[in-house]
Amino acid sequence: MSRIRNFVALILLISTFSIFFYTTLHLKATYGHQPGHDGLLKGRDMKTQPPERESRSVLAPSLNVSTFKGLKEMIPQNGAYWNRLLYAALKSLKNDVNGPRRAAPWSRCTEMTRELLHTNVHDFASYPVLFQTFLDGMSCRSPPALIEQPRKCESDTEGSDQAFLLFAIKSTPENFARRQAVRETWGQERVYAGGARVRTVFLLGSSTPDDPDLTLLLKAEAQHSGDLLQWDFYESFLNLTLKMNTFLEWAQKSCPHVSFVFSGDDDVFVNTPLVLSYLQSVDSSKASQLYVGHVITSASPLRDSKSKYYIPVSFFDGQYPGYAGGGGFIFSGALLQPLLSLSPIIPFFPIDDVYVGMCFKALDVFPQAHGGFQTFDVKDTDRENLCIHKRLMLVHQRTPKQIKKLWRGIQSPFLTC
């Protein structure tokens, strides 16, 4: 009898272990992390196809169709191509409890053929060449990294994410003088008053074939300064949305606990002490929803084909939401993951700050206008006025020499305003 009891107990133990082992494998297959996209893709034209690896889009737990109510109220459901893509994604989100389909791996993301575009966009052939190239790669996400900084936000002493403000500066490979001026002035990585630690990264794509190859110089710069992030896509005005989305992926992975993020150009002047003072004064109940800058309201697409902001009617039909000008704005680090979760749903738009505004609209986060952000610059008569700049958080545009001069001026103990 005792042998029978022992045998039954052994069978039960083996069965329990088997169920647990199978469940663990199933959960891992369902929810486990999938590696990022591989491949070399420059200018969104495929060159090589290494072995594929799938990637899974990470969605915020509460993301559903109702999340997009505000955006849907602004953007009609009609025949424009972008509008159709948006509503098709929302329909997929509604019908599929697992969320939208996975994006194609990077090396296959341009498999959308010109025939498909010609079929869906009746006047595609009339679009400017750069706009056609943008449409070729609208579904492209997660380009391979060429230069990484995975430990950027870690504290030197505590080994944890201690960044209060992260400067994410859009730059291009040839703009070394601008980057150096930022490093020597407002983008210095240090701890300011009140223990606010500032970190800085410069966001780069790759030079086009018509530009000099700066690969070796950029590697040396990255090794010396430790602040370059570069990805394998060609630099282009219409690729700035891809650059922003790729930065969000990097930041969510490498700086997940940063308090605030500044996104801006490499030719702006920032009054860092004033910015930090402002951020430290933000009410804790509002800090997690902060999106502040020079807000552009009631904007509409420009239909002039000669403008770099040109948007064809057949591509997008509707109004733009209020958005902070891309020259420089700040948002809460708590919004990194929610913003990133929208990438598989809201189609890329060729104007990056408008796209960011659309994402915030979908999240029901409203841009706050602040007079301290002057992305369209101050009056000509005030461009040399140090007291004016000491009261502002950002002005746009300035040369490297002007940035250094302004920084020295507003820091001078002899300045009386």
pLDDT, average across residues 38-60: 37
- Tell me, yes or no, whether 73 and 193 share the same domain: no
- Domain-ending residue, one of 84, 108, 136: 136
Question: Token pair 């201690």 is at which residue?
Answer: 162
For 218-269, what is each residue's pLDDT tens digit?
999 999 999 999 999 999 999 999 999 999 999 999 999 999 999 999 999 9
Question: Token pair 């494998």 is at which residue?
Answer: 25
For 296-328, what is each residue's pLDDT tens digit?
998 999 999 999 999 999 999 999 999 999 999
Report the sign of the C-alpha dihedral through residues 55, 204, 152, 370, in that order: negative
Assign 95 a pLDDT band (cuts: 50, 70, 90): confident
Into how many domains does the chain fold?
Answer: 2
- Tell me, yes or no, whether 378 and 237 share the same domain: yes
Question: Token pair 């990133």 is at which residue?
Answer: 340
Give yes or no for residue 156 having a pLDDT over 90: no
Token pair for residue 60?
A: 């915020």
**Integer angstrom CA distances of residue 240 from 20, 248, 256, 394:** 47, 12, 22, 20
For 53-62, what is each residue's pLDDT tens digit?
333 333 444 6
- Tell me, yes or no, whether 169 and 226 share the same domain: yes
- Tell me, yes or no, whether 97 and 163 share the same domain: no
> pLDDT value at position 251?
97
- Tell me, yes or no, whether 183 and 53 share the same domain: no
**Integer angstrom CA distances of residue 409 from 275, 309, 381, 399:** 17, 35, 17, 15
> pLDDT value at position 161?
53
The amino acid sitting at 114 is R
The set of residues, in sequence order, having a beta carbon less than 8 Å from that of 393 and lying 6+ positions away, is 270, 271, 274, 275, 278, 370, 372, 373
Give yes or no for residue 37 having a pLDDT over 80: no
Q: Average pLDDT, whole number, for the chain? A: 85
- Tell me, yes or no, whether 74 and 106 share the same domain: yes
- Tell me, yes or no, whether 199 and 157 share the same domain: yes
Give yes or no for residue 152 having a pLDDT over 90: yes
Q: 218: domain range?
A: 145-411
> pLDDT value at position 35?
30
- Tell me, yes or no, whether 115 and 165 share the same domain: no
* Residue 100 falls inside a structural domain: yes
Report the sign of the C-alpha dihedral through residues 357, 398, 215, 167, in that order: negative
Which of 53-57, 155-159, 203-207 is predicted most confidently?
Answer: 203-207
Give yes or no for residue 30 having a pLDDT over 50: no
* Residue 381 falls inside a structural domain: yes
> pLDDT value at position 25?
35
* Residue 26 falls inside a structural domain: no
For 360-408, what is each residue's pLDDT tens digit?
999 999 999 999 999 999 999 999 999 999 999 999 999 999 999 999 9
- Domain-ending residue, one of 118, 136, 154: 136
- Domain-ending residue, one of 83, 117, 136: 136
- Tell me, yes or no, whether 123 and 160 share the same domain: no
